[in-house]
Amino acid sequence: MKRQFLLSISILITTITFAQPRSVTELSTGWKFAKGINDQAYQTEFNDKNWQTVSVPHDWAIYGPFNKNTDKQVVAILQNGEQEATEKTGRTGALPFIGQGWYRNSFDLSDFKPGKKVVILFEGAMSEPKVYVNGRKVGEWNYGYNYFYFDITNDIKAGKNVLAVNLTNLGQSSRWYPGAGLYRKVSLIVKNQESIDQWGTFITTPHISSDFAKVSIKTRVSGANLQLRTFIVNAAGDTVAHDRTQTRFGKEFDQNLSVPRPQLWSPESPYLYKAVTRLYQGSELKDETTTRFGIREISFKPESGFSLNGKVRKFKGVCLHHDLGPLGAAVNIAALRRQLQILKDMGCDAVRSSHNMPSLEQLELCDEMGFMFLAETFDEWAKPKVKNGYARFFNTDAEKDVVNLVHATRNHPSIVMWSSGNEVPDQNGSEGAKRAKWLQDIFHREDPTRPVTVGMDQVKATMASGFGSVLDVPGLNYRTHLYEDAYKQFPQGFILGSETASTVSSRGVYKFPVVKGINKTYPDQQSSSYDLEYCSWSNLPEDDFILQDTKPWVIGEFVWTGFDYLGEPTPYNKLPSRSSYFGMVDLAGIPKDRYYLYRSRWNTTDNTLHILPHWNWPGREGQTTPVFVYTNFDSAELFINGKSMGVRKKNDSSPQSRYRLMWMDVKYEPGTVKVVAYDKNGKAAAEQSVVTPGKPHRLVLEPDRTQISADGKDISFVTVSVVDEKGNPCPTVNEQLSFKVSGSGKFRAACNGDATSLEQFHLPTMKLFSGKLVVLVQADTKPGDIKLTVEGKGLKEGEVKLVSK
Alpha-carbon torsion (593, 597, 598, 602), positive or negative: positive
- Is it the case that residue 377 has pLDDT exceeding 70? yes
Task: Write the CA distances from 580 to 203, 523, 576, 667, integer angstroms.
Answer: 38, 17, 12, 32
Torsion angle (degrees, nearest 10) of CA 536, 538, 539, 545 = 170
pLDDT tops 70 at residue 43: no
Residues forming CATH 3.20.20.80 domain(s) in the chain: 302-502+537-582
Please say whether the beta carbons of 379 and 357 come within 8 A. no
Q: Could you give the CA distance from residue 254 to residue 133 in angstroms, rounded to a whole number?
A: 36
Catalytic amino acids?
423, 499
Is the pLDDT confidence value at 481 over 80? yes
CA atoms within 13 A on the CB side of 482: 22
pTM: 0.95
pLDDT of residue 678: 98
Rounded Cα gap, residues 695 and 206, in angstroms? 64
∠ CA 465-469-470, nearest 5°, is 95
- C-alpha angle 360-366-368 in degrees, rounded to nearest 5: 105
The two beta strands, 160-169 and 350-353, are unpaired
Domain with CATH 2.60.40.10 in the chain: 195-293, 609-691, 698-804
Residue 38 has what pLDDT? 67
> For 654-700, what is each residue's pLDDT tens digit?
999 999 999 999 999 999 999 999 999 999 999 999 999 999 999 99
pLDDT of residue 4: 30
CA separation for the pair 13, 18 (Å, rounded): 16
Euclidean distance between CA atoms 700 and 724, whole angstroms: 10
Q: What average pLDDT score do residues 255-267 get?
A: 98
φ/ψ bin of 713: left (φ > 0), alpha (ψ from -120 to 50), beta (otherwise): alpha
Tell me, rounded to whole angstroms, the distance of Cα 627 from its chain centroid: 33
Per-residue pLDDT reduced to its tens digit, 111-143: 888 889 999 999 999 999 999 999 999 999 999
Predicted local distance difference test score (pLDDT) of residue 46: 61
CATH top class, domain 609-691: mainly beta
Rounded CA-CA distance 467/481 in Å is 19
Question: Is the bond leading into 576 cis (omega within 30 degrees of zero)?
Answer: yes
Mean pLDDT of 419-445: 97
C-alpha 334/C-alpha 640 separation (Å) is 41
Nearest Cα to Cα of residue 314 among 391, 372, 249: 372
- How big is the chain by its Cα radius of gyration, in Å? 27
- Look at the domain 2-61+97-192 and name its fold: Jelly Rolls (2.60.120)
CA distances from 417 to 88, 350, 371, 410, 498 (A): 34, 11, 12, 10, 11
**Given a cut of 60, is residue 11 above it in pLDDT?**
no
Amino acid 44: pLDDT: 46
Q: What is the pLDDT of residues 161-205, one digit of tens each?
A: 999 999 999 999 999 999 999 999 999 999 999 999 999 999 999
Nearest to 363 by CA among 346, 351, 347: 351
**Residue 702 — pLDDT band, cuts 50, 70, 90?**
very high
End-to-end Cα separation, the chain, in angstroms:
46
Q: Is domain 302-502+537-582 in CATH 1.20.1250.20, yes or no?
A: no
- The number of beta carbons lying within 10 Å of the beta carbon of residue 311 is 9
* Residue 259 confidence (pLDDT) above 50: yes
Q: Which helix (H) or strand (E) holds 338?
A: helix 333-346
DSSP 524: T
The CATH class given to the 698-804 domain equals mainly beta
> How far is it, in rounded angstroms, from Cα 507 to Cα 754?
8
Closest CA to 336 of 287, 378, 309, 371: 371
Compute the distance between CA of residue 705 and CA of residue 468 in angstroms, rounded to an integer: 46
Mean pLDDT of 53-65: 97
Cα 314 off chain centre by: 21
Q: State how far Cα 36 lies from the chain centre.
A: 29
Q: Please give the pLDDT value at position 41.
A: 52
- Dihedral (Cα; 62, 67, 72, 78), 10-degree rounding: 60
pLDDT at 18 over 70: no
User: Is residue 477 over pLDDT 60?
Assistant: yes
pLDDT of amino acid 73: 87
Q: Give bridge partners of residue 318 from the DSSP assignment.
A: 351, 559
Helix (H, G, I), strand (E, B) or coil at 657: helix
CATH 3.90.1150.10 fits 195-293, yes or no: no
Q: Write down the pLDDT at residue 114.
A: 85
The mean pLDDT of 61-76, rounded to a whole number, is: 92
For the chain, residues classed under CATH 2.60.120.260 are 2-61+97-192
Per-residue pLDDT tens over the stretch 554-609? 999 999 999 999 999 999 999 999 999 999 999 999 999 999 999 999 999 999 99
Other CB atoms closer than 10 Å to residue 582's CB: what's the count? 27
Structural element, H or E, at residue 375: strand 372-376
Give residue-wise pLDDT tens across range 316-348: 999 999 999 999 999 999 999 999 999 999 999
Say if residues 358 and 373 touch (Cβ distance below 8 Å). Answer: yes
Residue 461: the pLDDT is: 96
Residue 606 has a CB neighbour count (10 Å cut-off) of 9
d(CA 132, CA 341): 39
Phi and psi at residue 334, in whole multiples of 5°? Answer: -60, -40
As a whole number, mean pLDDT of residues 472-476 equals 98
Check: CB of residue 483 under 8 Å from CB of residue 554: yes
| Predicted confidence (pLDDT) at residue 431 exceeds the cutoff of 80 | yes
Bridge-based pairing state of the strands 273-281 and 452-456: unpaired
Pairing mode of beta strands 186-192, 116-122: antiparallel
The confidence score (pLDDT) of residue 451 equals: 98
Q: Residue 171 and residue 667: Cα distance in Å, rounded?
A: 50
Work out the average pLDDT over 40-68: 84
- In this prediction, what percent of the chain has a pLDDT beyond 70? 96
